[in-house]
A and B are shown apart, each in its own frame.
Chain A
Amino acid sequence: MTDDLVIPAAAWHRLMPMHLHLDRAGAILSAGSTLRKLIGDAARFADAFQPVATGQGGDDVAALLVQERLFLRLNAAPQQVLRGRAAAMPGGGAMLNLGFGIGLAEAVRRFSLTDRDFPPSDLAMELLFLHEANGAMMAELARYNLRMEQARLAAEAQAFTDPLTGLYNRRALVTALDHAVLAARGPAGRPFALLHLDLDLFKAINDDYGHAAGDHVLRTVAERMTAATRADDTIARMGGDEFLLLLPGLADERQLLQLGQRIIDRIEAPVAFGDASCRVSASAGVAISTRYVQPDPEVMQHDADAALYRAKGEGRGCVRIAPGSVPAPLTSAPLR
């Protein structure tokens, strides 16, 4: 009759290396080889475990039998909680079969367990395999994402760069200008100026010395503009010998006139190309965000352009400020 089936002790050990056989008083009659690695030579249930549900130790074997799921904290390593189930044995004792649950990987490390410690029916090895595979996959994906991110940044930088001068290009300037307009809105907004600069006498360089000289002059002008401005200013080559400078935080007319003139002065210094000494100049027009009730990128670009043509018309090599739609504050210097 199966009810009276007697399982020899050797069979318990072979099938269930995590079993625990207790007598009615809580003395350990037998423990599986893997469980022994965890509980050492403990002789009583209370020496080895503390049930999580009750929070108190003891050898109350009857209490173990009534729970569907036992959670037992290891006295030797209180972070480790085993789970399992108990069944009544003839004569009043209990047989427990325990497992690791989610704390498996940690237990394997802590107690130096090997695959021989788990019966083939146990999914422990599969769980450890997944744990490890998951880590390896995450590392591979992280590497891959980093590569993609670097490629994206490189592509973006390329898309926003003028290849000849290394300055920003028109696309970058438009983006930066949109951001500056948004940041300038409202009473607490950050003002900015848009400086449109065009080289004078540049066509003669190309005509007299060739395009290589022209390219060299453009690169030199770019370096000089970069040196004359701040790190958070955006300098873009819009094409040909035309540049736009976005100057955040600058709204004072006198400062802008000085900055524009300083840039022009630097551009006017001779540029050596082989034996030739190339000379160009520049004219500039400035639009200031505070001169508008509601700054608009296109209106400001148009006004800066108009001021530039006024500078060209009034003798070149100078800076003109666009009047905008709001009168200049009284503290500003008069137009020259």
Chain B
Amino acid sequence: MHGMVNRSIEEFVRSTYGEAAWQAAAVACGADPQGFHMLRDYPQELTPRLLQAAGNPLAKTPAEVAEDVGAWLAGRESLRRLLRFSGADFAEFLLSLPELPGRLRMIVPGLEMPSVEVAGGAEGYRITSIPHQPLWLCALSGMLHAVADDYGCLAVIVMEDACLSVSVPLADYAEARPFSIGGPVAGAA
């Protein structure tokens, strides 16, 4: 697994639960408590172990932690902005999800993600990952929650057997957070 993924989880644990929680999780899953290297490859099985270790003290499952990580990532200003480049509204964003792995690879060569497929339309979307990777879909679900909030949408996102089901009962639920493609809006929160 690309170091960037593990490093994101590390940063999430550090900033959400504190340095001590990170140290404990790192020791529990056999990772270096000093932290992950961003540009190094790690064994595939380390990531689920890390999610498990991070969730244990809070009685959270790896799936729940993955979802929290996704939401946390999407809320970080630099990443939030990058995600907003994908569409002018939430529906456009959902339909452009298949481009997401390609976009990630364009920024970080070697960052391999499962491909994403989106089916359906305004009445409801079904999002699958190929190959099916439940933890990745959980992270995506957390991210979609955060992005929907950002667009000011009320979205219902449900993890089903092998897919995410997304419906948008209210597209203009709240005011969207400011976004301009030219750069951060002055005074934006």
Which size bracket describes the interface of B in this complex? 10 to 19
Q: Is A139 an interface residue (CB 8 A)?
A: yes
Interface-located stretch among B13-21, B63-71, B81-89: B81-89
Given contacts A129-B85, A132-B85, contact A112 B180 (CB under 8 A): yes
Q: Is B189 an interface residue (CB 8 A)?
A: no
Q: 8 smallest A-B Cβ distances: which pairs? A: A109-B182, A136-B78, A108-B182, A133-B107, A129-B85, A115-B88, A128-B181, A133-B82
A144 to B11, CA, bound (A): 12
- Give the nearest-CB partner of A129 in chain B: B85
Which residues of B107-124 are within 8 A (CB) of A? 107-108
Q: Is B38 an interface residue (CB 8 A)?
A: yes
A59 to B35, CA, bound (A): 63
Q: Can you name 8 A-B pairs with beta carbons within 8 Å?
A: A109-B183, A113-B181, A128-B182, A129-B103, A130-B107, A132-B85, A137-B108, A147-B35
A22 to B87, CA, bound (A): 34
Find out whether the CB atom of B78 lies under 8 angstroms from the CB atom of A141. no
CB neighbours of A151 from chain B (8 A) = 34
CB neighbours of A113 from chain B (8 A) = 181-182
A151 to B34, CA, bound (A): 10
| Minimal beta-carbon separation of B95 from chain A (angstroms) | 12
CB neighbours of A125 from chain B (8 A) = 85, 181
Which residue numbers of A lie inside 8 Å of B, CB to CB? 105, 108-109, 112-116, 125-126, 128-130, 132-137, 139-141, 144, 147, 151
- Give the nearest-CB partner of B179 in chain A: A114
Given contacts A128-B85, A133-B82, A136-B79, contact A115 B107 (CB under 8 A): no
- Give the nearest-CB partner of B84 in chain A: A115
CB neighbours of B35 from chain A (8 A) = 147
Q: Mark B30-65, 1 if CB is under 8 A from A, else 0.
A: 000011001000000000000000000000000000
Question: B38, B85, B103: which contacts A141 (Cβ < 8 A)?
Answer: B38
A297 to B107, CA, bound (A): 52
CB neighbours of A133 from chain B (8 A) = 82, 106-107
Question: B87, B107, B180, B181: which contacts A137 (Cβ < 8 A)?
Answer: B107
In this complex, the member of A116, A128, A132, A136 whose beta carbon has the largest number of chain B beta carbons within 10 angstroms is A132
A109 to B185, CA, bound (A): 10
Which residues of B138-189 are within 8 A (CB) of A? 180-183
CB neighbours of B106 from chain A (8 A) = 126, 130, 133
Question: B38, B85, B103: which contacts A144 (Cβ < 8 A)?
Answer: B38
Q: Mark B88-114, 1 if CB is under 8 A from A, else 0.
A: 100000000000000100111000000
A132 to B79, CA, bound (A): 10
A316 to B30, CA, bound (A): 56
| Minimal beta-carbon separation of A199 from chain B (angstroms) | 39
CB neighbours of A116 from chain B (8 A) = 88
A144 to B88, CA, bound (A): 33
Question: B82, B180, B182: which contacts A129 (Cβ < 8 A)?
Answer: B82
Find out whether the CB atom of A114 lies under 8 angstroms from the CB atom of B78. no
- Give the nearest-CB partner of A130 in chain B: B106
CB neighbours of B34 from chain A (8 A) = 151
CB neighbours of B85 from chain A (8 A) = 115, 125, 128-129, 132
| Minimal beta-carbon separation of A109 from chain B (angstroms) | 4
CB neighbours of B103 from chain A (8 A) = 129
A317 to B91, CA, bound (A): 87
CB neighbours of B81 from chain A (8 A) = 132
- Give the nearest-CB partner of A137 in chain B: B107
| Minimal beta-carbon separation of B7 from chain A (angstroms) | 9
- Give the nearest-CB partner of A118 in chain B: B181
A275 to B81, CA, bound (A): 67
CB neighbours of A105 from chain B (8 A) = 182-183
CB neighbours of B108 from chain A (8 A) = 137
In this complex, the member of A125, A126, A133 whose beta carbon has the largest number of chain B beta carbons within 10 angstroms is A133
A105 to B38, CA, bound (A): 28
